[in-house]
Amino acid sequence: MAEIETEGFEFFGVEETVFRKMVIERIEALMVHEGLSKNSLAKKADIGRSALYEKMDREAKSHFTILDFFRIAKALDVSLLQLFPMTQLERLHGGQLPLSASTLKFLDLMLAAPKEDIEFLSNFYASLKKRDSVDEDK
C-alpha cells in the first residue's frame, strides 16, 4: 500500500464546516466530469435522493458517513482519497481538484497497473525530463 506523506494531521486548523465544503466541491467537480446530476449520483450510489441533497448542501448540518463516501467514490469510479483535499495546496484553494477529474481517474488507473508497467512509465517519464533539461541547457 502506498504511503501518504503527511506531517501529522493534514487538516490541523481547518474547521469541520470548511472541510465539508471542500469535500462537496470535489464531489461536484467529479460529478461534472462524469456528467451526473445529484439525482443520478444518488441513484448510482444507492443513497436516498433527499439525503444526498441534504449532505451536498454547503450550509446544512447533515454529514457524510464513511459508507456515503464509499458509495459515492464507487459510483464516480474514483479512489476514496480523491474525495478529500490531501495536500496543503488543495486546502489552500478550498478543496478544488489539483488536476482535472479525468487526469485523476487516469492516475488511479495507472496506480492499479502491474508494477512492471508503472516502472516502465516512471523510466519513460524520467527520460522525458532528462531530455527537457538537455533542451533547456542549449
pTM of the predicted protein model: 0.61
Cell representation of residue 128: 522525458
Q: Is 127 exposed, middle or buried (0-12, 13-18, 19+ CB in 10 A)?
A: exposed
Helices (H), the chain: 16-34, 38-45, 49-56, 66-76, 88-92, 101-111, 115-137
The pLDDT, as a whole number, for residue 17 is 82
Cell representation of residue 17: 464546516
How does DSSP classify residue 46? T
- Cα–Cα distance for residue pair 56/87, rounded to 1 Å: 22
Q: Which residue has the higher pLDDT, 12 or 54?
A: 54
The answer to whether the beta carbons of residues 70 and 45 sit under 8 Å apart is no
The mean pLDDT of 35-46, rounded to a whole number, is 94
Chain segment 81-117, per-residue pLDDT in tens: 888 876 666 666 555 655 666 777 777 788 788 889 8
Cell representation of residue 27: 464531489
